[in-house]
Amino acid sequence: MISDIPFDGPIAGVLIGRVDGEYVVDPGVAEREKSDLDLLVAGSRNAITMIEGGAQEYTNDEMLAALEFAHKQIQDKLDMQAELANEAAVVKREVALRLPDKEVMAEVRTFALEKLRAANKSPDKMERGNQIKAVNDETIEHFKTKHAEREDLDQLVRDIKSYLHELEYEVVRALIFEENKRADGRAPAEIRDISCEIDVLPGAHGSAVFTRGQTQSLGVVTLGTKMDNQRYETLAGQSTRNFMLHYNFPPFSVGEVKRMMGPGRREIGHGNLAFRALK
């Protein structure tokens, strides 16, 4: 905010707890121990941009009230940032906005929209992905050939790829709001077939395979003693945890080809979500 780079901000975050039925902003250590809510919310003037948290049993209305309370508290922190920025009185630089070719994007829409709509109705996940990829590849190749003499062809191709992604987003939203269907033809409240199988790895302390539709997850449990507790440090000091959850997506499980590495942001986030659910 105090540089000359254009910035559509600010944003701020608050930690919300609830003690004795009253919402508390940025609760201290003692209050957090008594709180039945641990909710971190970030937002801008007009919207909430991020939510991370956990709670005991909460109704939808209670959680919405907590979010509304958090967004009101965020406004004070935004005001503080704005005051500091005003003191700096920095003049923002002018940036020329480069927009994609409207005529070509209109042609792309005409060429690909109905094909993407049909592809997104395939009930099989793999087949749906293959059909969408085929439509995208066909569209890009068609317009690369049609505009082969353009000097900015590489940029045009990037714009087309980006616009195809926007079209797919539009198609999926239209299916939900206009036809009350998801991409595979299911109604919004309709779930896929679910099954569970236990003791699939006889050498482990515990194991299970959870299957929902075409998605599978393997869970493995190892038991230990108190000496095996995880030790970790926070700003509040050192502590221990008697439950550790490692969530891992091998690249092949999410349709990627890359080297095996440590857990990434997505895996850590999903692991935290599962940890909170079990906690």
pLDDT in tens, 2-14: 889 988 889 999 9
pLDDT at 139: 97
pLDDT digits (tens, 9 = 90+) for 56-114: 888 999 999 999 999 999 999 999 999 998 998 888 888 888 899 999 999 999 999 99
Task: Give this prediction's pTM.
Answer: 0.68
Q: Which of 103-112, 132-141, 233-242 has the weakest average pLDDT?
A: 233-242
pLDDT digits (tens, 9 = 90+) for 178-217: 999 988 888 888 988 999 999 999 999 999 999 998 889 9
d(C-alpha 203, C-alpha 249), whole Å: 22
Mean confidence (pLDDT) of the chain: 91
* Selection from 110, 114, 121 nearest residue 160 by Cα: 110
CB within 8 A of 50, min separation 6: which ones?
A: 13, 40, 41, 42, 43
Angle between helices 125-146 and 102-119 (to 10 degrees): 150
Counting every residue written for the chain, the total comes to 279
φ and ψ at 247, to 5 degrees? -110, 125
pLDDT digits (tens, 9 = 90+) for 39-52: 999 999 999 999 98
Sketch out the chain's domains with CATH numbers: 12-88 (no CATH), 102-179 (1.10.10.400), 194-278 (no CATH)
CB within 8 A of 269, min separation 6: which ones?
A: none
Residue range 247-269: average pLDDT?
Answer: 83
pLDDT at 255: 78
CB within 8 A of 229, min separation 6: which ones?
A: 240, 241, 242
